[in-house]
Amino acid sequence: MAATAAAAAAAAAGVVGSASHHSRILQFSSSSRRRQLCISCTAVSPSPIPASLAAGDRGVYNFAAGPATLPESVILKAQSELYNYRGSGMSIMEMSHRGKEFDAAIKKAESDLRRLLSISDDFAVLFLQGGATTQFAAVPLNLCKPDDPADYIITGSWSDKAYKEAQKFCKPNVVWSGKSEKYTKIPSFDAIRQNPDAKYLHICGNETIHGVEYKDYPEPKNKNSILVADMSSNFCSKPVDVSKFGLIYAGAQKNVGPSGVTIVIVRRDLIGDPQPITPVMLDYKIHADNASLYNTPPCFAVYICALVFEDLLDQGGLQAVEEKNAKKAGILYEAIERSGGFYVCPVDKSVKSLMNVPFTLQNSDLEKKFIAEAAKEGMIQLKGHRSVGGVRASIYNAMPLAGVEKLVAFMKDFQARHP
């Protein structure tokens, strides 16, 4: 009878389950009281997984620039744990950020990220909020005084936005800009005229909109300066020598998680003396001293990052990941180059991104038709950024080779039908 009553209560609450499953406490709130309903059939089975999804095929390949596709294994693992996280009786989205379960999750995320990038204890690893855009202000606020100079290399829209935000908090100096060449190049490092007093040299490791990526990184010529990089769209896509940087920041929603969490890797000796106007939520030292738990972090996003880092390690680490990314990008660029000008990628060959591949067709009407027909064939989110137009295929870590191969086959077929 008790089991029957529990099942009836569960059905009334919209909960489906089996009496043989582990129990879970569901809490119901009202303005005046909370009542608890203990259901013995609680480890609710998730919605049935279609056979095609279980096999790794959701019917589409998502070429979005971000939020972007995540590894199938990560999504399925998160689905299996969503209702009752590892026997806790709670979802990861419900539990306290100061509880033992989430504490273990965020510590694992940091530990695995340190393994992936060989990050020493000289650096703090922070899981923050506000996106990389918030870091455009946090960087100068933490590393500069109002009259301090800082150098910026402008290779696209995102490094330009970072420079403009820094103007509010320090004296930034543009040491090179690719605007006149429509952001299709990265400068020779010897040609960069750095300010000898600059506190840092800021770059964007991969320009998501324009498809320009650093293959190696400049060194500040001033020995007292440091290298700062926005790596939002190529973070964990290849090995990086973190010791060559003073600070790296990245929004997670391209390569390592969903939107909502921003990762900052900063040398510990650089933090602790922010400008007096620095909001508490932008003070790196406060977050480092509180292990990213000064306030409630984006718990679910951090948890997904932990699953992604584990997946990257299981793949063999970032060297193996880079090789896969190079292969995917290689066949796509080759298709563009062999199209006889039907498809055109304007980016200089030496700095073409492995993550974001922009290209144009002969006119905007043909581009619209290409994007629409591709979507019907299960290849979505191929529209270029609103500021530049055209087509853009974002092929981050989680994009399978099969997705790129399907796109290339479609490109060849589309060209044949539109001579």
- Residues marked active site are found at 158, 230, 254
Other CB atoms within a 10 A radius of the CB of residue 309 amount to 24
Maximum CA pair distance of the chain?
Answer: 81
Q: Say which DSSP state 398 is in.
A: T
CA 99 vs. chain centroid, Å, equals 26
Q: Is the peptide bond before 67 cis (omega within 30 degrees of 0)?
A: yes
Using N-to-C axis directions, what is the helix angle for 131-143 and 157-166, rounded to 10°?
A: 40
Q: Say which DSSP state 50 is in.
A: P
Helix, strand and coil content of the chain, in percent to the nearest 5, comes to 40, 15, 45
Question: Which residues of 123-217 form beta strands (DSSP E)?
Answer: 123-128, 149-154, 171-177, 200-204, 206-207, 212-213
Q: Which of 370, 358, 17 is nearest to 208 (CA)?
A: 358
Upper half-sphere CA count for residue 147 (Cβ side, 13 Å): 0
The Cα 284–Cα 358 span in angstroms is 35
The Cα 333–Cα 345 span in angstroms is 8
CA 33 vs. chain centroid, Å, equals 40
The Cα 110–Cα 125 span in angstroms is 7
Query: Which run of H or of E encompasses 248?
Result: strand 247-251
The Cα 419–Cα 406 span in angstroms is 20
Length of the chain: 419
Contact by Cβ (8 Å): 366, 325: no
